[in-house]
């Protein structure tokens, strides 16, 4: 990594990339280049745009004969000084809204943490450019953080007030001005149980904005997004990735002007935002990150995955294999007792599961979601031997033990609320809104932070607990204090509590959850190595959500569970195998009632767990490629590769009577080497064949009759056998034909029996080198 300064030009080189800035003749910081890493031989001045005369109707300073700010690729922009794009900063001092920062000095140093906010881990370098507004007596520091082993650039702003009272009304972390192409936006939108659906928007003249304003990074719009240049594909062409290390309200804006230039802004939301800085106070924005790849969206995903794994995730967990978890939520909800949990634990152990996580309902009077939240004492009626008893029981079986908490919230019907009604977020003119019968604790208050720390600390010490699922089940509302920095301060409070808890319990694996994926963001992932992706475990929607998130987040952050065949969320019936083929791409777990499994299903799950354990490092830490998606190609195909092995999924959406003759393709193989490939053996329910079961049965069977039901509890059909050896060249180009699919005929062991919403996994291994 290298940061240089020469002749008013800053050049930052990191990974395979370079980013160049210049100081204009009137002291503005101007973006010049973001692309492949420059060499020492590059004549860097050739990259600097010349402004020989003002363009069009631009406004200039009297003494300046160059271009006006309207046409410059500025790294920050303020209103009312000739730049008529959306500003990235809005400030006010003593009734003046005119600010004009000019270059003052720079510093190159080792990277330092951002006060109060999540920061990238690892040893990197930081460029700090100081700009001053002498008239307003305040300064703007532009921070740039880079690492040698990463193509991701981090940017944030520090605003410092020297005198009087400065109001910050808007403070984007980054502004980036691209030009010279047509651009498309790829962004992730959704709602509870249907997060991270990919939306592709061609950017035309005007402003497209993304935001969340519910007090979380939100399921509605994830802070991760991509930009593709014209002609970009999955694996080729220029694409850019962006994200923010923050978990609260955020906003991104993409503005294309008449010159076709694109201004991208990322940062905290400016809705009702207002921060006052007194004399000698500073404000720090969260870190915005960005990267650029010539290898299309898969190239961007891989750069982002590497950054998240190496700079965001706690290094204690970034390289270790995550356990296969059983979580009792969908099986029992609130209705369980010690015996029930013991029996689930025994079954979990027999199936090969490694950690048992006890979800909601173990504390206070929490027998449904109306009561008890905040009262973090075990319910002795349900668990007479407490968490200690349960964790000991798990230990004896050879299982690790984990626990669920929702520390930021409180039910009105709880001892906590009765003792501290003033701890909830609300203002005094209206009754605070409720969500799931609960209220949000005001994490800005030191006493609330202490209470949360003590509750979690005590719970983690109450038994041998190695896993904590931290939930958060409602949006924020009724924020106090009018226009303020409430949301920012809430998260500074939360990050401080999380730092204390992580310091006291460094070995505990934390799982992030906000009604599923309501806060799947880099702020939370700085503390939680993995995140419960969605409350939706239906394999079709889940695949869409997981593939959406995987564009920007590594698979090791995606916690996925196989749940009961009929989806709680969609009432769609799919097989356990279809659920596994989806859930395996990430950190696998199970969540269905294990005591309800038939012998056939137990066999199925045992085989899944064995397969996953054999290939866990591929699924959790392999290099990831999206090869096809339901939305684009009508089927989904994902690939993970590591060393000599790859796994490729092929998941069908709807069965057709004339199915497409798909071929198995894979990326990143060496064309000259030979590779063996083999389909993972799946167990198909006898009931899948319907009354056609009579094609292979010696006696007549009724489709839903007693005998079929009885038989299908114990036996199933095996999926087709398919294996072979071909060169990497074949996988990389035309592909390998997949077994013929069922098309109304052919119930035999060479035919692929899929039906709607199911698929296969193929294991590809190096067989011999050239
Ligand atoms: C919402 C989570 O997403 C679920 O997995 C479960 O933990 C429930 N909360 C418990 O209340």
> Which residues, 6+ apart, have CB-to-CB distance to 215 below 8 Å?
248, 249, 440, 475, 476, 477, 479, 487, 490
- Atom 6 of ligand 1: nearest residue by CA position: 329
Mean pLDDT of 148-159: 98
Find out whether 71 and 51 touch, Cβ atoms under 8 Å: yes
> Mean pLDDT score of the chain, rounded to an integer?
96
- Atom 3 of ligand 1: nearest residue by CA position: 515
pLDDT at 529 over 90: yes
pLDDT at 96 over 80: yes
Mind giving me the DSSP string for 560-616? Answer: EEE--SB-TTT--B--HHHHHHHHTSSEEEE-S-GGG--HHHHHHHHHHHHHHHHTH
Q: Which of 219, 329, 367, 568 to mutate to test the pocket of ligand 1 (most atoms within 8 A of CB)?
A: 329
pTM score, whole prediction:
0.97
More confident residue, 352 or 64: 352
Atom of ligand 1 minimally distant from the CA of 514: 3
pLDDT at 434 over 90: yes
CA distance 286 to 634: 38
Q: Could you tell me the distance, in angstroms and rounded to a whole number, from the CA of residue 602 to the centre of ligand 1?
A: 25
Mean pLDDT of 251-275: 97
pLDDT in tens, 624-670: 999 999 999 999 999 999 999 999 999 999 998 899 999 999 999 99
Mean pLDDT of 292-315: 98
Range among 105-119, 646-660, 683-697, 731-745 rated most confident: 105-119
14 lines ligand 1 (CB under 6 A): no
Q: Tell me whether strands 183-191 and 282-284 are parallel, antiparallel or unpaired.
A: unpaired
Q: Could you tell me the distance, in angstroms and rounded to a whole number, from the CA of residue 722 to the centre of ligand 1?
A: 40
pLDDT at 563 over 80: yes
Q: Could you tell me the distance, in angstroms and rounded to a whole number, from the CA of residue 120 to the centre of ligand 1?
A: 29
pLDDT at 65 over 80: no
- H or E, element range at 347: helix 338-351
Q: Which of 336, 368, 535, 561 to mutate to test the pocket of ligand 1 (most atoms within 8 A of CB)?
A: 535
411 lines ligand 1 (CB under 6 A): no
pLDDT at 746 over 90: no
pLDDT in tens, 369-422: 999 999 999 999 999 999 999 999 999 999 999 999 999 999 999 999 999 999
473 lines ligand 1 (CB under 6 A): yes
471 lines ligand 1 (CB under 6 A): yes
Which two three-digit tokens encode residue 687? Answer: 């009931």
The residue among 109, 427, 153, 119 whose CA lies nearest residue 264 is 153
CA distance 484 to 248: 14
pLDDT in tens, 176-194: 999 999 999 999 999 999 9
pLDDT in tens, 441-464: 999 999 999 999 999 999 999 999
Mean pLDDT of 676-682: 98
């Amino acid at each position: 990594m290298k940061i240089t300064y020469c002749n008013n030009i800053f050049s930052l080189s990191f990974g395979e990339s370079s980013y160049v800035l210049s100081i204009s003749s009137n002291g503005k910081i101007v973006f010049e280049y973001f692309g492949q890493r420059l060499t020492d031989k590059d004549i860097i001045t050739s990259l600097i745009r010349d402004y020989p005369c003002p363009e069009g109707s631009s406004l200039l300073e009297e003494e300046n004969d160059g271009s006006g700010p309207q046409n410059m690729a500025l790294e920050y922009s303020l209103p009312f000084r000739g730049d008529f794009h959306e500003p990235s900063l809005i400030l006010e001092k003593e009734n003046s809204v005119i600010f004009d920062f000019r270059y003052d000095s720079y510093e190159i140093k080792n990277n330092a943490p951002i006060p109060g906010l999540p920061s990238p881990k690892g040893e990197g370098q930081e460029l700090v450019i100081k700009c001053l507004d002498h008239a307003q007596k305040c300064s703007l520091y532009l921070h740039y953080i880079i690492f040698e082993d990463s193509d991701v650039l981090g940017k944030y702003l520090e605003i410092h007030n020297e005198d009087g009272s400065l109001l910050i009304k808007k403070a984007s972390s980054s502004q980036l001005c691209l030009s010279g192409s047509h651009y498309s936006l790829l962004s992730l939108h959704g709602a509870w149980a249907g997060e991270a659906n990919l939306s592709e928007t061609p950017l035309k003249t005007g402003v497209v904005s993304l935001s969340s304003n519910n007090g979380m990074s939100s399921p509605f719009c994830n802070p991760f997004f991509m930009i593709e240049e014209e002609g970009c594909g999955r694996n080729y062409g220029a694409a850019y990735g962006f994200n923010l290390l923050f978990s609260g309200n955020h906003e991104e804006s993409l503005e294309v002007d008449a010159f076709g230039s694109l201004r991208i802004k990322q940062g905290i939301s400016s809705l009702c935002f207002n921060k006052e800085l007194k004399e000698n106070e500073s404000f720090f924005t969260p870190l915005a990150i960005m990267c650029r790849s010539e290898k299309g969206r898969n190239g961007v995903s891989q750069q982002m995955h590497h950054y998240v794994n190496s700079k965001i995730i706690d290094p204690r967990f970034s390289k270790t294999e995550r356990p296969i978890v059983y979580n009792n939520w969908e099986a029992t909800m609130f209705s369980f007792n010690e015996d029930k949990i013991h029996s689930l634990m025994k079954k979990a152990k027999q199936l090969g599961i490694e950690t048992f996580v006890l979800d909601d309902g173990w504390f206070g009077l929490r027998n449904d979601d109306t009561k008890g939240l905040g009262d973090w004492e075990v319910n002795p009626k349900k668990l007479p031997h407490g968490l200690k008893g349960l964790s000991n029981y798990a230990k004896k079986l050879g299982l690790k033990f984990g626990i669920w908490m929702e520390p930021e919230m409180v039910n009105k019907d709880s001892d906590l609320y009765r003792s501290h009604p003033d701890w909830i977020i609300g203002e005094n003119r209206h009754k605070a809104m409720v969500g799931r019968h609960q209220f949000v604790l005001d994490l800005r208050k030191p006493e609330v932070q202490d209470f949360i720390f003590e509750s979690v600390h005590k719970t983690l010490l109450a038994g041998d607990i190695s896993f904590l699922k931290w939930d958060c089940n409602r949006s924020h509302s009724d924020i106090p204090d009018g226009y303020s920095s409430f949301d920012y301060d809430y998260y500074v409070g939360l990050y401080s509590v999380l730092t204390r808890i992580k310091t006291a319990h460094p070995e505990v694996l934390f799982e992030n959850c906000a009604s599923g994926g309501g806060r799947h963001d880099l702020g939370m992932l700085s503390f939680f190595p993995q995140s419960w992706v969605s409350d939706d475990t239906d394999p079709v929607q889940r695949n869409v959500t997981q593939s959406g998130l995987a564009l920007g987040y590594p698979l090791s952050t995606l916690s996925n569970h196989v749940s009961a065949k009929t989806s709680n969320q969609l009432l769609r019936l799919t097989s356990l195998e279809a659920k596994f083929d989806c859930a395996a791409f990430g950190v696998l777990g199970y969540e269905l009632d294990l005591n309800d499994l038939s012998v056939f299903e137990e066999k199925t799950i045992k085989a899944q767990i064995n397969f996953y354990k054999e290939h866990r490092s591929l699924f959790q830490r392999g290099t990831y490629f999206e090869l096809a998606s339901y939305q684009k190609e009508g089927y989904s195909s994902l690939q993970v590769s590591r060393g000599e092995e790859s796994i490729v999924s092929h998941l069908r959406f709807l069965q057709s009577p004339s199915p497409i003759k798909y071929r198995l393709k894979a990326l990143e193989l060496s064309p000259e080497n030979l590779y063996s490939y083999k389909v993972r053996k799946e167990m198909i329910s006898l009931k899948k064949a319907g009354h056609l079961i009579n094609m292979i049965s010696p006696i007549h069977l009724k489709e839903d009759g007693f005998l079929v039901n009885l038989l299908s509890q114990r036996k199933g059909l095996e999926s087709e056998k398919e294996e072979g050896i071909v060169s990497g060249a074949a996988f990389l180009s035309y592909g390998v034909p997949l077994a013929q699919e069922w098309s109304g005929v052919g119930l035999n062991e060479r035919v692929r029996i899929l039906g709607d919403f199911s698929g296969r996994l193929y294991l590809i291994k190096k067989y011999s080198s050239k």
